[in-house]
Amino acid sequence: MSSVETDPRLKAESVTIRPLGAFRKTVQVLGSKSYSNRYLALAALSGEPTVIEGALVCDDTRYLADALTRFGHVEVEVDAAAERITVTPTGRAMRAPEEDVYVGAAGTPIRILIAMAGHAEGVTVLTGTPRMQERPMGSLLEALPGLGVTAEAVKGNGSPPVRVTGPSFRGGSTRISGAVSSQFTSSLLINATRAEQDTEVHVIDELVSKPYVEMTIAALAEMGVVVERDGYTRFAVAAGQKLRGGTVQVEPDASGMSYFLAAAAVLGGTVTIPGIGKGSHQGDVGLVAALTRMGCTADIADDSITLTGGELRGIDIDMETMPDVVPTLAVVAAFAEGTTHISNIASLRIKECDRIAAVATELRKMGITVEEHPDALTITGGTPRGAVIDTYDDHRIAMCFAIAGLRTPGVVIKDPGCVAKSFPTFWQKLDTLAGTTSSTL
């Protein structure tokens, strides 16, 4: 077993965060979850042996790897210690698994798999946790028939379980809403690589979280497929393009990086994250600019990002392009002078939990004044006090409030194991700042 699997905090009822002073550290963050999921899906569609180096091995990627294996056309070997995922074709055709495919709370994988099941012979049923069975898939289900795929919500509510009948993903032209999730568009583009016909995807309204589609297009290009486009309104994948196999490298996860940037911000420390820099397509890198506006200083090089904390002040910021780091910035705002208004974040209502409500509730427990709006948060900075933090089975709530505990005594994080969804070594990485947690079993 790896040290990750034996970390007792992943099975603990809670961890107590120990406050820390200013620090100067280099932290190696695990690979990008978004890129790992995309490369894994593309490798399974390529028909070529593929090695994904620097891959994030977490709950989400394990669920996706298991699902791909169950279609029978590939074998997937996951090596957590080496941060490597190997995908090898079996030579068999894709066939629907006999039993339901369970993906836990993995949002990107299930949306990729719904379209991918259209390539498999037979009927595939995809499902997940109770929260997953509340998450909206309707826009994707409405778009798939235009490409030949019959897909329906089993309960008729637009949410999982979803039943898909294949093989039927022929390509063609379809229309999709981009207002709920960019993952729907990414799913169609990824799976268009195996279509018999050219595929066109027309986005009929405003596309949210645009950087994630940019990441999809970058991953496709890295593996040899060109996407033609008209801004964010039309995307086209010509049939006959060949996904390459071989080796692909995953850059560090910008969302995971955010917690260590926040630690430097609230403690006045300095952190360097190697392996990611100014060329990254990850929207969450935008947190660096947000923190500099709040009073930090930063150096973004080609292959590293360094941030040093300063006197923090509130800002007004639209975070539509970087929703996953909203909770991180919100915690930093709790320590800033003045008011921070974070807007255009309605998509957080349908994540692993309602993150707007969760952040507001837990910051109020810490004595911070928060105004909650349908698509925004207004946070008045102050002196947070210790509290027992509920995490709502949401990895990002656990990790961002752990950072609050680095400055505020008495912060206890319940259900610390939920970080395994995206960052299973989070508590170990946090320890590298100076031994910062203890667990209660």
According to DSSP, the β-strands at 316-318 and 369-373 are unpaired
Q: What is the pLDDT of residue 224?
A: 98
pLDDT attached to residue 434: 81
**CB of 4 closer than 8 Å to CB of 425:** yes
Are 86 and 57 in contact, with CB atoms under 8 Å apart? no
Q: Which of 56, 179, 194 is nearest to 115 (CA)?
A: 194
Q: How far is CA 155 from CA 159, 161, 351, in A?
A: 8, 7, 20
The answer to whether 182 is annotated as binding is yes
Tell me the C-alpha distance between 127 and 154, whole Å: 10
* Cα distances (angstroms) measured from residue 405 to each of 6, 161, 206, 310: 24, 38, 38, 18
pLDDT tens, position by position, 175-234: 999 999 999 999 999 999 999 999 999 999 999 999 999 999 999 999 999 999 999 999
Q: Please indicate whether residue 324 is annotated as part of the active site.
A: yes
Alpha carbons 441 and 436: distance in angstroms, whole number: 17
Distances (CA, A) of 356 to 251, 289, 373: 28, 22, 8
Contacts with 383 (C-beta within 8 Å, 6 or more apart), sequence order:
367
Helix (H, G, I), strand (E, B) or coil at 37: helix
Q: Residue 6: pLDDT band by 50, 70, 90 thresholds? A: confident
Q: Is 304 annotated as a binding residue?
A: no
For residue 293, what are its two tokens? Answer: 């506006």
Q: Which residue has the tokens 């603990």?
A: 12
181 known ligand binder = yes
Instruction: Judge whether 6-29+250-438 and 32-235 match in fold.
Output: yes
Q: Is 34 annotated as a binding residue?
A: yes
pLDDT tens digits along 123-172: 999 999 999 999 999 999 999 999 999 999 999 999 999 999 999 999 99
Q: Would the pLDDT of 4 be above 80?
A: no
Check whether 438 has a pLDDT greater than 90. Answer: no
Segment 287-302, tens digit of pLDDT: 999 999 999 999 999 9
- Mean pLDDT score of the chain, rounded to an integer? 96
Q: Is 324 annotated as a binding residue?
A: yes
Q: Taking Cα atoms as reference points, which of 171, 198, 201 lies closest to residue 185?
A: 201
Residue 1 has pLDDT above 70, yes or no: no
Instruction: Please identify which of the residues 324, 390, 394, 415 carries the catalytic annotation.
Output: 324
Rg (CA), the chain: 21
Higher pLDDT, 435 or 34: 34
36 is known to lie in a ligand binding site: no
Q: Tell me if 282 sits within 8 A of 32, measured CB to CB.
A: yes
Q: How confident is the model at residue 440 (pLDDT cuts 50, 70, 90)?
A: low
Say what the pTM is.
0.93
Average pLDDT over residues 324-338: 98
Q: Is 293 annotated as a binding residue?
A: no
CATH code at 32-235 = 3.65.10.10
pLDDT at position 405, please?
98
**What was the pLDDT predicted at 5?**
55
Q: Where are the domains of the chain?
A: 6-29+250-438, 32-235
Establish whether 396 is an annotated binding residue.
yes
The verdict on whether residue 280 carries a ligand-binding annotation is no
- Under 8 Å between Cβ of 86 and 122: no
CA distance 47 to 437: 45
What CATH class has 6-29+250-438? Answer: alpha beta
Chain centroid to Cα 316, Å, comes to 24
The 10 Å CB-count burial string (b at 16+, else e) for 353-364 is bbbbebbbbbbe
